[in-house]
Structure formats: structure tokens, C-alpha cells
Amino acid sequence: MTAAVSVPPVAGTARRDIPAFVRAGERMMWIGGRQVAAVSGRTLPNTDPATEEALAGVPRGEAADVDAAVHAARAAFTDPAWAEMSPDRRGRILNQIADVIEEHADELATIDSVNMGAPRVLTTHMLAEASEVFRYYAGWPTKLSGVSVPAGKDRMAYTRKEPLGVVGIIWGWNGPMGQLPGKLAPALAAGNTVVLKPAETASLSTLRLAELLAGTDLPAGVVNVVTGLGAEAGQALVAHPGVAKIAFTGSTATGKLVQRQAADTLKRVTLELGGKSPSVVFADADLDVAVRGVAAGFLGNAGQACVAGSRVFVEEGIREEFVEKLLKTMEAFTPGDPLTRGTLVGPLSTKAQFDRVSSYLDIAREEGANVVTGGGRFGDHGYFFAPTLLDDVRPDMRVVREEIFGPVGVITTFTDIDDAIARANDTDYGLAASVWTTNLTTAHRMAAAIEAGTVWINTWAEMSTGNLPFGGYKQSGLGREGGLEGLDTYTQVKTVRIAL
Ligand code: NAD
């Protein structure tokens, strides 16, 4: 498998069976329950990364649009229709959202696949998880309780868990319908209202979802959507004094900017950021299972995954056998049309992303790494990149330390468990890790020693349907999504003391 293989079989966007919503034209934002264009009247283009053909454009919202959305969300927050809604009814609305997502999962998955290039098998999976996350959080409004605290004779004290107010949600293009539910569902379950700012190159599924939400019992203004650039709409949302919290998914560099800027108004922030996750394979592992997990780890979504297992460590002694099996397995990840059944890897999401990944291959060669397979463009149109494996790498190389966000893995060996731990933790990131072993002691020692928010043993990238916390150690993030930990980040605690 090399970059010289045939052109991916992608028919032009116009000839493919894609939802009308992504075809030509201009879509609208949602503010206060109404569809609106940007105040400036400007729009942003969208491109199908598999064909490089134009899709529907989206409004280029800026500070004035964000201001209008925050005011609408603020009004909805205090409106009795939402503020005084009974917990069971709020739970029913979350279930309604889950129903709507389920009913339109095919369409929403296809919109994401066309808009950002992830294969249908992956976007379908994300949509299935999305509805489950809403169902999980639908159970929480009736259980969000404070506690009664002993306060002495003639006194009573208790706590209440209250919503924060308006929450700004900003997230990435690499899984639009995968990243949103873990933020939107708990925000609503806790009684907040929201302003959504999807990534500028993959906003279409969110605008369609907003249209679908308008058909539920969610009061107008509870969910608002402003599309636009990060440096314009995103920054305006982070700076807005009417926003109580920013829930952010994106790069570590942008996450640091968001945290700095949020400090001016002392907003709460939760940050889901980048990674450079290790996949550690011990000699006693079931190699056939391990090799599939490791390949999927750095090639899934063309490597555009925060949890990508892009640093592969194999125990000395099995290196040759492992690499031989890995190269064979990588053939199943040959890129293809995201809409074709059986495609496991689509194109990179944008031209900018393609150029960025290509530049890392230049860096790899300059640094002296060896390109075992892949290493450049795949085919002659679309932003397809060949699945790539690098060896002869040193721990100080940029391709080992920095998040490439493309289908590129680096492989090295380790001598024993202590060496494996040291190598796995030799990174500024700490989002996830996978360990492949049949030895129970090794598995538990590794799980405890690895500095990462999630450790998968003999499996990879199994995400939760809402009930498990997810988030980063070190520079991979702040706070957790999922479970009660995730819900608590959308609440504030009030203490009440009463003289009886
Ligand atoms: P990005 O940081 O460029 O953009 C993310 C979002 O932030 C976009 O909506 C963008 O418009 C917005 N943004 C950009 N600049 C902003 C600013 N100054 N103020 C406010 N908002 C701004 O990231 P990306 O390239 O879209 O996504 C890829 C990154 O996301 C990778 O690093 C990846 O690892 C990370 N990611 C993390 C998780 C996780 O859960 N930890 C999940 C997916 C992706």
C-alpha cells in the first residue's frame, strides 16, 4: 500500500445522493427561536473534502450576532417556561431530543460525512451515541439534589444545585455530532440555556439539528446557534459578560487562549483538548487483536481524533512480527469515499488540514525519520492522505511530540514495563492510552501508572454513552465530560441557612 495506488472512487458531490440541506445555497443561524442571517450579511463557504466541490454556505456571525444570541439565551434562562419547568418535564424534553436525533440519524450522519469527510460508519456511530447521551442525561433533572446538613438546634441548613446561566459551547470539526451531546445534554439537564458555536468548516449538521429542535417542546431561545470563525464569533462568545461558562473542545493552543480570555470575566471553563496518545503492545498480547486496535487507533477518522493512538510502542522481540502484521492491517484503512459502505477512512477534512499533515511529513524527513509506508497524498483529487507509519524516530522529534492530526503513526520499541511507562508518559498530553497484554498484573500496573484521563486495555476508542467521565490529564484538558462529574460542571451550589 503506497500513495501510488489508484484514485479513490469518489463521484462528484452533485452526482452523489446527499441531503438537500448540504447542497448549494445559504443556511441560516438560530437565535431566539428564529432563523437569521448574520447581521453583516456575510457568509462562509463549505467544501466537500472528498470532491473539493462547494456545499451550502453558512452565516459568518460576529460579535453583534453573538450578542443577540446571548440576550436571547439570557431571556430564555429567566423565562418561567424554562426556569420553572418541572424536572420530569425537562427530562422528557431531553428524551424528545434523543428521539429526534434517532429519527434523523441517517441524514445528520450523512451531512457530517459530506461536510467533514468522516466515513459513514463513524458518523453513524457518533449519532447513535449522541441519542444515548441525551437519554442518559434525561434521567438527571429529577435527581439533581442538594443535601441537608446538620446545623444545630433551631437551625436548618441545606444546599441546592442551581444552573449557571448562559453556557457558550464551542467545538471542533472532527466530530461535530460526536462532541456536542456531551456538552449540550448536561447543560440543558441542569437548566442552563446555551449559545452553540460549531467549527466554521463543519457547521451544517448543527444548523440542521437546530431546525429539528425547533419541532420539539424546547422553549424558544434555550438553544441558539451562531456560526462563524473562531477568532470572530468564538472569541466574542468567550469574552461576552452575559456568558457564565464556556465548554470547549479544540486544540490545546486555542484552549489556552480561551482560558486566558475567560479569566477577564471569571467564567468557568471546561476544556477538551489535544492528545498524542500511546498504544503500548506487550509481547504477551494477542497480536491479531492488538494490531487491529493499534491501526484503528491512529488511522480512525484519518487520524483526526483527539484520542488518536499516534505513538506506538512495542516490546522488543516482537517488533518485526508486529510491524509485518500492522502493514497488512493498514491496507484495510486505504482511503475511500466516506459515503461508500465499507470505507473505514475518508479524506482529511479541509485543504488547510491536508497542508498541515503534509508539512509534518516534510518535518519527519528533515528530522531523519524513516517513512515505512504512506507519506503523502493519496489519489489525485480530494484531500486524501495515505495511511502512514514512521520509524527510526527519537523522543525529541516534533513528529513524536506534536499532535499531527492525520493518519500518521510513529513506532518504537521498549525493553520492559518500566521503560514502557516512562516512554508512554514522555509527553505534554494525557488524554488517552491503550495497553495490549494478556497479563493481568501488567494491565493493572499500566492502568495506574499511565498519566491519561482514559486507559483502554485490549480495546481502543470505546467512548461512553454518557455515563463515564472523559477528559484530559496534563495539557489535554480541564474538567470532565460524562457522568455526574460532567453534569456538576454545569451547576453551582447554593447554601441556605434558616433560623427556625
Ligand atoms: P481549534 O482549536 O482550531 O478549533 C476548535 C473550535 O474553537 C472551533 O469552533 C473554532 O472556531 C474555535 N476557535 C478558534 N479560535 C478561537 C478563539 N480564539 N476563541 C474562541 N473560539 C475559537 O481546533 P480544531 O482544529 O477545530 O480541532 C482539532 C483539535 O481538537 C485537536 O487538537 C484535537 O485533539 C482536539 N479535540 C479534542 C477532543 C477532546 O475531547 N479532548 C475531541 C476532539 C478534538
Whether residues 159 and 94 share a domain: the answer is: yes
Residue with the smallest CA separation from ligand 1 atom 4 is: 250
Whether residues 176 and 30 share a domain: the answer is: yes
What range does the domain containing 112 cover?
20-273+475-499
Task: Name the domain count of the chain.
Answer: 2
Q: For residue 77, how far is its CA from the centre of ligand 1 (angstroms)?
A: 27
* pLDDT band of 15, cuts 50, 70, 90: low
pLDDT value for 8: 56
Residue 371 maps to a domain: yes
Q: Which of 170, 298, 304 to mutate to test the pocket of ligand 1 (most atoms within 8 A of CB)?
A: 170
Residue 8 maps to a domain: no
CB 80 within 8 A of CB 39: no
Whether residues 176 and 301 share a domain: the answer is: no
Q: Provide long-range contacts, Cβ within 8 A and 24+ apart, for 213-216.
A: 213/97, 213/100, 214/30, 214/33, 215/100, 216/93, 216/96, 216/97, 216/100
Q: Which of 62, 237, 251 to mutate to test the pocket of ligand 1 (most atoms within 8 A of CB)?
A: 251
Over residues 397-451, the pLDDT tens digits come to 999 999 999 999 999 999 999 999 999 999 999 999 999 999 999 999 999 999 9
Whether residues 27 and 101 share a domain: the answer is: yes
* pLDDT band of 17, cuts 50, 70, 90: confident
Over residues 464-479, the pLDDT tens digits come to 789 999 999 999 999 9
Whether residues 425 and 480 share a domain: the answer is: no
Q: Report the candidate in 254, 296, 304, 279 with the shortest Cα–Cα distance to residue 405.
A: 304
Residue 141 maps to a domain: yes
* pLDDT above 80 for 365: yes
CB 149 within 8 A of CB 119: no
Q: For residue 248, how far is its CA from the centre of ligand 1 (angstroms)?
A: 7
pLDDT value for 9: 60
* pLDDT above 80 for 3: no
Whether residues 265 and 335 share a domain: the answer is: no
Whether residues 256 and 337 share a domain: the answer is: no
Q: Give the full edge-to-edge strand order of the sheet including 491-499.
A: 148-149, 155-163, 491-499
Taking the CA of residue 238 as reference, the ligand 1 atom at the shortest distance is 20
Q: Answer yes or no: is the C-beta of 233 below 6 A from any ligand 1 atom.
A: no
* pLDDT band of 4, cuts 50, 70, 90: very low
Instruction: Report CA-CA distances (Å) from 118 to 46, 344, 345.
Output: 15, 9, 7
Q: Report the candidate in 335, 299, 354 with the shortest Cα–Cα distance to residue 52.
A: 354
Q: For residue 256, how far is its CA from the centre of ligand 1 (angstroms)?
A: 11
Q: For residue 274, how far is its CA from the centre of ligand 1 (angstroms)?
A: 8
Q: Answer yes or no: is the C-beta of 228 below 6 A from any ligand 1 atom.
A: no
Q: Which position has the grid cell 494491565?
A: 443
Residue with the smallest CA separation from ligand 1 atom 40 is: 272
In three-state secondary structure terms, 215 is coil
Residue 12 maps to a domain: no
Residue 3 maps to a domain: no
Over residues 264-314, the pLDDT tens digits come to 999 999 999 999 999 999 999 999 999 999 999 999 999 999 999 999 999
Residue with the smallest CA separation from ligand 1 atom 26 is: 172
Q: Answer yes or no: is the C-beta of 177 below 6 A from any ligand 1 atom.
A: no
Residue 2 maps to a domain: no
Distance CA 424, CA 203 (A): 35
Over residues 367-400, the pLDDT tens digits come to 999 999 999 999 999 999 999 999 999 999 999 9
Distance CA 111, CA 124 (A): 11
Taking the CA of residue 255 as reference, the ligand 1 atom at the shortest distance is 2
Backbone angles phi, psi at 431, to 5 degrees: -85, -50
Residue 439 maps to a domain: yes
Q: Provide long-range contacts, Cβ within 8 A and 24+ apart, for 248-253.
A: 248/169, 248/170, 248/171, 248/272, 249/170, 249/171, 249/172, 249/179, 249/183, 249/273, 249/306, 250/170, 250/171, 250/172, 250/199, 251/172, 251/403, 252/403, 252/429, 252/475, 252/476
CATH code of the domain in which 289 resides: 3.40.309.10
Whether residues 409 and 487 share a domain: the answer is: no
Whether residues 286 and 384 share a domain: the answer is: yes
pLDDT value for 14: 65
pLDDT value for 7: 47
Q: Answer yes or no: is the C-beta of 138 below 6 A from any ligand 1 atom.
A: no
Over residues 200-250, the pLDDT tens digits come to 999 999 999 999 999 999 999 999 999 999 999 999 999 999 999 999 999
Over residues 42-79, the pLDDT tens digits come to 999 999 999 999 999 999 999 999 999 999 999 999 99
Over residues 142-164, the pLDDT tens digits come to 999 999 999 999 999 999 999 99
Q: For residue 375, how far is its CA from the centre of ligand 1 (angstroms)?
A: 25
CB 367 within 8 A of CB 398: yes
Q: Answer yes or no: is the C-beta of 477 below 6 A from any ligand 1 atom.
A: yes
Instruction: Retrieve residue 328's grid coordinates.
Output: 497488512
Q: Answer yes or no: is the C-beta of 306 below 6 A from any ligand 1 atom.
A: yes
Q: Answer yes or no: is the C-beta of 232 below 6 A from any ligand 1 atom.
A: no
Distance CA 74, CA 241 (A): 11
Residue 56 maps to a domain: yes
86 CB burial (10 A radius; 0-12, 13-18, 19+): exposed
Whether residues 485 and 365 share a domain: the answer is: no
Q: Report the candidate in 383, 422, 379 with the shortest Cα–Cα distance to residue 405.
A: 383
* pLDDT above 80 for 2: no
Backbone angles phi, psi at 184, to 5 degrees: -65, -45
pTM of the full structure = 0.97
CA 382 to chain CA centroid, nearest Å:
23
CATH code of the domain in which 235 resides: 3.40.605.10
Distance CA 410, CA 318 (A): 16
Q: For residue 185, how far is its CA from the centre of ligand 1 (angstroms)?
A: 20
Whether residues 193 and 302 share a domain: the answer is: no
CA angle 457–462–463, rounded 5-degree value = 130
Q: Which of 269, 306, 354, 401 to mutate to test the pocket of ligand 1 (most atoms within 8 A of CB)?
A: 306
Q: Answer yes or no: is the C-beta of 172 below 6 A from any ligand 1 atom.
A: yes
Greater confidence (10 vs 83) lies with 83
Whether residues 218 and 286 share a domain: the answer is: no
Taking the CA of residue 308 as reference, the ligand 1 atom at the shortest distance is 34
Q: Which of 196, 254, 301, 404 to mutate to test the pocket of ligand 1 (most atoms within 8 A of CB)?
A: 254
* Catalytic sites, residue numbers: 272
CB 257 within 8 A of CB 237: no
Q: For residue 171, how far is its CA from the centre of ligand 1 (angstroms)?
A: 6
Q: What is the DSSP letter of 380?
A: S
